[in-house]
Structure 1
């Protein structure tokens, strides 16, 4: 840049010098040289002086411009690296100076945007933490209500019936036998309620596990604690967005809890597959079934499952009737490949069936 500027300045200086000499000679202000040697010497001397002055000016001007451009480039590099504390210096009042002022305004605007994004990120983290704590408190309150409404009432009834057995055992043996049978039935119901509540005490999220692995662990744990045959058929390679996996996991928890509480089933089957652009979840038991009416929606957790399916844009269908068992069919469309590629192989692991 410097050499080019010096060359341009020298050429411009020589051009202006030649123009001035021509004009002065044209109007007779320059006398002819008496000696050609003297003329050549003076001409070369003047040309040399003009060339040196032009080169010096070109060097000074280009050095000043280069220094200002380097300062501007340095500020841009710091801005590119995210160092917003680097201030753009005053570069004068010309075009370079105005570019520097614009860059300074861009830097200030960028710093404001970054500060706003960081505040937003902090607020989101705080809201997420509050939502998590709120969910924990709400879940504890719900479990406390269910313990009071279901298990504690069953235990109180068992206690009262046991007291009555002690009083009637000698007087009416047949009545005492019926009371003992009632105690056994109430104990079984209370045990089912406790198992269902313990199922809800599992983590709300999958804790880094894949959905298939989390469901498999859940089913194996349930099968070890409850006298029920459980079979599952799942695509082990399914990868889904985290939000969808968490909702499906909670839906399965809710369905299993309802089965333990209400269905009196001794067989259960779960299927999880991903055909093309959707994921399909099927849960079936051979229990007593129920009537699909508004009164049953709350007691069987149907509304809760519907809300979760709606939140992930899916559809849910209940197929049931008294004495015919219950089947829940869920389909969720997958619009992105965020969850990864689908595995072609199935991992079929029936247990106890």
Structure 2
């Protein structure tokens, strides 16, 4: 943009210079040169000076405009990432300045809406606490349906295949070996389903614990039950509004459940940090990954996690590909006083690894 501005300024300067010379010459204000060499020399000097001045002005103007546009773009990128604490700088009184002012008003309204969403989420969490018994009953019914639809069918298929092995073992040994391998595979799938269902038998709410405490207990319990290397890095000083903590806890439950069911991962990592005025939750595994398309959104619980993140005014990103593992990045801005900085100044963190 700077070079284009310089080129346009040089051309405009030369045009205006030529126009002024023509007018002055037309009315006889310019005396003729004594010889052609003097004319060419003076003309080239004047043209050079005009071109340099025009280029300098174009560079200054283009740099100023580019710098303001970069500030505007930087503010928009922070707004897109959910960082609402960074104000839009003053960009002047022209069109760019008015766009900056409008973006600032949008940021303020977005901040108010996120704050309202978080207050609403906290109120919903309080209502959910009062209806805890009903939620537990509903969760048990859901788990019972999943046990019937998933594990029960797998066990029935294993039973039928085992019966078939008994009939074909003496007749067709190779076929029997294939059936035994199929039984092993179905047993592994059923085991993964059971582990995922056991994960959901955790309490629906954190029951007064901080998010980091609840997640640590969940991961320690999971580490003792599944053959996956689990590492975590959590800032234990983080204290959030109850609605946000409950949603993040359930999102982690859903993500871990999906990992156990589908990923075939051998390593898993979870991070909970507060780098600035937002919470960053990262969940990563080295599993098989998957294609991000609309069909997978339902089967992998992605839509459920997106809805929970939207309810607390956050942003979620899925990074995955077949054979490349899966990474889930969640950012939630903290605007309310309850979600303010409650660190004890020590910056304590807990790191564990399987």
TM range (shorter): 0.5 to 0.7
**Contact kept in structure 1, 2:289 and 2:321, CA below 8 Å:** yes
Structure with more relative contact order (C-alpha pairs < 8 Å, separation 6 or more): 2
**Contact kept in structure 2, 1:235 and 1:345, CA below 8 Å:** no
Distance verdict in 2 for CA 1:171–1:246, change over 3 Å: same
**Contact kept in structure 2, 1:232 and 1:349, CA below 8 Å:** yes
Deviation at 1:277, TM superposition (A): 1.1
Q: Secondary structure at the match of 1:338?
A: helix
**Contact kept in structure 2, 1:234 and 1:273, CA below 8 Å:** yes
Name the residue aligned to 2:279.
279
Q: Which runs of 5+ in 2 are unaligned?
A: none
Residue by residue over 1:242-285, the C-alpha shift from the partner in whole angstroms, topping out at 9 and shown as x without a partner, is 11111101100000000000000000000110122110000000
Distance verdict in 2 for CA 1:77–1:22, change over 3 Å: same
Q: Which runs of 5+ in 1 are unaligned?
A: none
Deviation at 1:136, TM superposition (A): 2.6
Q: How large is the RMSD of aligned CA atoms in angstroms? A: 21.7
Distance verdict in 2 for CA 1:295–1:345, change over 3 Å: farther
**Contact kept in structure 1, 2:320 and 2:327, CA below 8 Å:** yes
Residue by residue over 1:154-181, the C-alpha shift from the partner in whole angstroms, topping out at 9 and shown as x without a partner, is 0000000100111111111111111111
Distance verdict in 2 for CA 1:104–1:302, change over 3 Å: closer
In the alignment, is residue 24 of structure 1 matched against residue 37 of structure 2?
Answer: no
**Contact kept in structure 1, 2:117 and 2:311, CA below 8 Å:** no
Distance verdict in 2 for CA 1:92–1:337, change over 3 Å: closer
Comparing 254-263 and 12-21, the one that deviates more: 12-21
Distance verdict in 2 for CA 1:50–1:142, change over 3 Å: closer
In the alignment, is residue 253 of structure 1 matched against residue 253 of structure 2?
Answer: yes
Residue by residue over 1:14-35, the C-alpha shift from the partner in whole angstroms, topping out at 9 and shown as x without a partner, is 9999999999999999999999
**Contact kept in structure 1, 2:235 and 2:350, CA below 8 Å:** no
Distance verdict in 2 for CA 1:227–1:94, change over 3 Å: closer
Deviation at 1:60, TM superposition (A): 90
Report how many aligned residue pairs link the two structures. 353
Runs of 4+ in 1 over 6 A off after TM superposition: 1-127
Name the residue aligned to 2:263.
263
Deviation at 1:138, TM superposition (A): 2.8
Deviation at 1:68, TM superposition (A): 72
Q: Secondary structure at the match of 2:308?
A: helix
Q: Give the structure-2-normalised TM-score.
A: 0.62
Q: Give the structure-1-normalised TM-score.
A: 0.62
CA distance in 1, matches of 2:72, 2:320: 74
CA distance in 2, matches of 1:247, 1:238: 15
Distance verdict in 2 for CA 1:111–1:45, change over 3 Å: same
Larger C-alpha radius of gyration, 1 or 2?
Answer: 1
CA distance in 2, matches of 1:278, 1:201: 30
Deviation at 1:337, TM superposition (A): 3.2
CA distance in 2, matches of 1:172, 1:4: 80
Deviation at 1:135, TM superposition (A): 2.5
Residue by residue over 1:201-242, the C-alpha shift from the partner in whole angstroms, topping out at 9 and shown as x without a partner, is 100111111111111111011011000000111111101111
**Contact kept in structure 2, 1:231 and 1:349, CA below 8 Å:** no
**Contact kept in structure 2, 1:265 and 1:288, CA below 8 Å:** yes
